[in-house]
Amino acid sequence: MRSGGRFAYYWPVFERLFTHPIWAYRTGTFAFASAWPIGLLITSILVGAALVAWTLWRRRALGWSLLVPVGVLQTALIALILCLLWRPVLNVERVRDRENELAIAVDASASMAYGAAGQSRLQEVAAALQNDTLPRLEKTFAVRLFGFAQSTTPLDSLDSMPAPGRQTRIGDALTQVLQSAGSAPLAGVILFSDGAENGNTLSEERLAEIASYGVPVHTVGIGPEQMTDDLELERVEVASTAPAGSTIDAQIGIRHNGAAQARLRVYDRDNLVAARDVKLRPDAPTTQLSLDLPAGQAGTHELRFVLDPLEGERNVINNTRTRVVNVPATRRNILYVEGEPRWEYKFLRRAVDRDRALRVASIVRTTPNKHYRQGVNSPDELVDGFPSDAAELFGYDAVIIGSYEAAALRTEQHRLLKEFVDKRGGSVLMLAGRYGLSAGGWQNAALAQTLPVQLTGRQPAQFVQRQGQAQLTIYGAESTIPRLDGDPKRNLDRWKNLPPLADYQSLGRLKPGAIVLLEANGQQGRSPLLVWQHYGRGATYILATASTMRWQMRMPSEDQSHEMFWRQLMHAIASTAPSRVTVNSERTVYEDERMVRLEAEVRDERFEPISDATVELHVAPERDTAFSQIMQPSGQGDGRYTATLDAASAGLYRIEMSARVADKEVGTAITHVLRNDGVAEHFATYQHRDLLERIANATGGRYWPLSDLDGLAGAIPYSKAGIVERQTLDLWNLPIVFLTLLALKLAEWLLRLRWGRL
């Protein structure tokens, strides 16, 4: 009923012609009150039609073009008169006057304070109800008024509306209104709201619970469905954690109407870290963009995303969103195994040597029984080559395997390497080489199950010298790994200008979950170059070349493309590996919510879940006194623990989790959350008509614009809820019936007059 407002003007005319309200016709059933059989009516109509046809047949010389219209009009007249003799009626069910209650719930949240022409939406509701609608409803129902925002309050009158609330909780309001009715017959609920539900109280389960009461909810939409001359940061998504010195990918959505361009600025507290002019799409209500941001040094970063306001823009609160990013001080550890000294190894290590967030511990086989170690923390690390113990291998976050035969590892080491991906949640990157991938027999190893390609059998010509240009795929253009420039066009140009590779290795068939980020374009066509996929808790990558050092050797010394690519790739494979002890919140920013839900995970050195630990939270609010709280185990034996914190005041909360088994400390983890007050109601302030229609449809009600309250007052008595009575309404004496009889006879007379044959 999206165009329902257009009919409000015609409803008085309709009721004059049809006597009864339009809702009686929409909900009632048609019948004949006469005891005479319907078959006799049909027979009488057919006999009358036959008599008309016989009389016209006798005058067929006049021509059928004259006779047929007259015959149709005469037959319709006879049929209508016969139907009236059978006494047509309308059987309807209507609520009994003054024996039912009607609840009116008015949204009193802060978004209802917006409006136009100096009148708020809440004032519009009050004016519309007091004008005529409320007195009309009170003639039929015992009306009960409610105002709601975070909570629902019974009202003595519209003048006692509560102060604007910081949240809209429609699901809670409807549930409380329905429950408050108790045993009283409730004919319906009228909900006045803009539908800006931001309290997460209208899940499908909650809506089904509301519908189970059997009471129709009629929703009245308040406010415009599109805000004019307004910019809004509708969506800002960033990772909650990032390695120090890395790049953060921010996904941003801007809602706009009446603007062609916007200026976006990003602040780390008070320091400007990025700015961009955004060209807004004229053919869509929102514009999406990606923005690369520096993660900065270790610590907690409050990133503030700000849109410069439009000239005359009234709501500027929705131009700003804040996100919290935790940059841990700990370094990510990568194990790099090479089967021979080669240039790729040298340039790879050089690319990440200065990255304080990464540590690459490497072993290079220099002779059949001798290995060269670099980047180790102690003399004992990797002293026996590739780890043979789960605790030692699982201490790394990622593993890189270069030109190294599968046969160099024992069966137990192959099993551990597969579990490193599947169970530990680490990442494995395999590089091409003389002894790498299929050339090294890895297609027969346990790790092959986790790889994104189906490695083919060993072939001498798989890894050969052949030139190929690295090219971005559509997935690579969106990924942060091959992003050499924040601007998509410039990034594509930089890849086109990189020197061609000297070699690349043929891979087998891609698996269904594989994602190709780079392709090698050579004389034999395109071949996957950088491909990855998720497997279990971790991921596996393949880089099918050993000549990326060309991007360093054949470019100017100031060009950082090679270093940037490898740092981003190394961060990507290492940063997703979970720590043994973790604590996370549902989100990093809570807007006008005080209950913070946390989940922790505790595992031992072999990453087996620990379900009998004592897990304690130490919470340090920015403004209140610090406190502690014990987390409760999930009960599933999966090493997970949960807790809900009461963030009583606004500000930043530092949350440190510690886990102990008996007297032994397992580990600690830290996270931060930010509570913002007075923010949520200033976002998405337009009318959410789809939500209001969904509520009405699920409960058997209807959606109404505020301008159609006259129709609403007429429809509710026929909603078939509460105490109803059956009524039989006569249809034979309607003004429209007599007008129709007159019109049929007048039309016949006019035809005869025109043809000159009266």
Interatomic CA distance for residues 83 and 122, integer angstroms: 51
Residue 580's nearest CA partner among 561, 594, 595, 601 is 601
| CA pair distance 502, 488, nearest whole angstrom | 26
Average pLDDT, the chain: 89
pLDDT, tens only, 329-343: 888 999 999 999 999
Give residue for tokens 């830290």.
670
The model carries a pTM of 0.77
- Find the mean pLDDT for residues 395-401: 96
Is-contact 488 477, C-beta < 8 A? yes
What are 697-726's pLDDT values in tens digits? 999 889 999 988 888 888 888 877 877 778
The CATH H-level (homologous superfamily) assignment of domain 581-681 is Macroglobulin (MG2) domain (2.60.40.1930)
Segment 558-562 mean pLDDT: 91
Question: Which of these CATH numbers, 3.10.129.10, 3.40.50.880, 3.40.50.300, 3.60.20.40, describes 332-575?
Answer: 3.40.50.880
**12-50 pLDDT, tens digit each:** 677 788 888 777 888 888 999 888 899 999 999 999 899
- 230-325 is classed in which CATH architecture? Sandwich (2.60)
104: left (phi over 0), alpha (psi -120 to 50) or beta: beta
Cα diameter, the chain: 122
Domain edges within the chain: 4-19+34-86+733-755, 101-223+686-724, 230-325, 332-575, 581-681
Reported as a single tens digit per residue, the pLDDT across 241-254 is 888 878 888 999 99
Write down the pLDDT at residue 5: 45
The DSSP bridge pattern shows strands 332-338 and 358-367 to be parallel
Q: What is the pLDDT of residue 112?
A: 92
- What pLDDT is recorded for position 93? 80
CA 291/CA 480 separation, integer angstroms: 10
Q: Give the integer Cα–Cα distance in Å for 256 and 288.
A: 11
Task: Establish whether domains 230-325 and 581-681 are of one fold.
Answer: yes
pLDDT for position 212: 92
CATH 3.90.550.10: does it fit domain 101-223+686-724?
no
Q: In terms of DSSP bridges, do strands 632-633 and 427-431 run parallel, antiparallel, or are they unpaired?
A: unpaired
For residues 425-446, b (16+ Cβ closer than 10 Å) or e, as one string? bbbbbbbbbbbbbbbbbbbebb
The yes-or-no verdict on residue 9 having pLDDT over 80 is: no
568 Cβ contact partners less than 8 Å away, ≥ 6 residues apart: 246, 247, 480, 481, 482, 483
E strand segments, 514-594:
515-522, 525-535, 538-543, 581-585, 589-591
